[in-house]
Structure 1
Amino acid sequence: MKIRLSKIEDIPEIMIIIDDAKTYLASQNIDQWQNGYPNTEQVKNDTLKGESYVVINDENQVIATSMFTTNPEPTYKVIDGNWIIDESKIYGVIHRMAIKKEFRKFGLATFMFHEFHLQLLEKNIESLKIDTHEENIGMQSLIKKLGYKYCGVIYTNYNAKRLAFEKVIS
Structure 2
Amino acid sequence: MRHPLRWSLLALLALWLEIAWGPALGLPRLHLPLMLALGVGLVYGPRQGVAVGAVAGLWLDLWTGRLVGSWTLLHALAGWLAGKAGESLYREVPGLSPALGVAATWLVETLRGLLVTAVTGLPVAAADLMAWSRALGPELVAAAVAAPLLFRFVLAIERREREVREAEVPGGWRGGWP
Q: Tell me, yes or no, whether TM beats 0.5.
A: no
Structure 1 or 2: more helix by fraction: 2
TM-score by length of 2: 0.31
Q: Which has the larger radius of gyration?
A: 2
